[in-house]
Chains A and B, each alone.
Chain A
């Protein structure tokens, strides 16, 4: 079945440093989504990428979808303490109805 690998599992940064998490799928995806889960909370949708090579920005967050539609990345510039949480990528295959395959997540800790 479809697998989505996400690295790193943990990332500790000083406030102000940049952060990147990477996502790689075993199969070509029709789209990829990113979610953020704050400590003690539930996952919240951030963004969806659909097109090959697509790049989207949300303030300090930059999301990329690979040309082959099998990998993606999330980059945060100048992290803040409010960025703390777990970031998940989730891929949708071509015939998976509404199902998403989630990566294992990257737990981000930001030290002030």
Chain B
């Protein structure tokens, strides 16, 4: 069966520090991968999605970047965090090319930038 791992679960970082959040998927090949951000009590904002290794599409201009160095690994990064980067970051995957496009989410990372 497929599983998605996301870490860390909680992170507190000072303003101006770098960020690296990692997401890995097991049990499937060539998935679509997604990074979302959710502000408290709000909806899901799609940040990046990837349809293959090295292929990243950015949805919202911002202080963040994403990379996909391996088929089932998706990394969210920042060189210098801003206060506004605080939020709940969720990684998700879906079947490549599947008609259902159901997205399966990781447990998320709660990032507080102070």
Interface residues of A (CB under 8 A from B): 6, 31, 33, 35, 41-45, 48, 88, 90, 92, 97-100, 102-105, 107
Residues of B with C-beta under 8 A to A100: 101, 103
Q: A42-B105, A98-B32, A100-B101 are in contact. List 12 more A-B contacts (CB 8 A).
A: A6-B43, A31-B100, A42-B108, A43-B103, A45-B103, A98-B49, A98-B96, A98-B98, A98-B103, A99-B49, A104-B43, A105-B43
Instruction: Compute how far the CA of A35 lies from the CA of B43 in the bound complex, rounded to whole angstroms.
Output: 12
Residues of A with C-beta under 8 A to B75: none
Report if A92-B101 is in contact (Cβ < 8 Å); known contacts: A97-B32, A103-B43: yes
The chain A residue with its CB closest to the CB of B90 is A42
- Could you tell me the dominant secondary structure of chain B's interface residues? loop
Picked from A44, A92, A104, the residue with its CB within 8 Å of the CB of B105 is A44
Instruction: Compute how far the CA of A88 lies from the CA of B38 in the bound complex, rounded to whole angstroms.
Output: 12
The chain A residue with its CB closest to the CB of B36 is A102
Report if A104-B32 is in contact (Cβ < 8 Å); known contacts: A42-B107, A43-B105, A97-B51: no
Could you give, for residues 32-58 of chain B, a 1 whenever the CB lies within 8 Å of some chain A CB and a 0 otherwise? 101000000111101001010000000
Q: With an 8 A cutoff between CB atoms, is B67 at the interface? A: no
Instruction: Compute how far the CA of A99 lies from the CA of B96 in the bound complex, rounded to whole angstroms.
Output: 11
Report if A31-B101 is in contact (Cβ < 8 Å); known contacts: A98-B94, A99-B49: yes
Instruction: Compute how far the CA of A103 lies from the CA of B41 in the bound complex, rounded to whole angstroms.
Output: 13
Query: Is B51 within 8 A of A104, CB to CB?
Result: no
The chain B residue with its CB closest to the CB of A4 is B43
Report if A45-B102 is in contact (Cβ < 8 Å); known contacts: A98-B32, A98-B96: yes
Residues of B with C-beta under 8 A to A103: 43
- Count chain A CB atoms within 10 A of each CB in B90, B102, B108 and give the residue with the most: B102
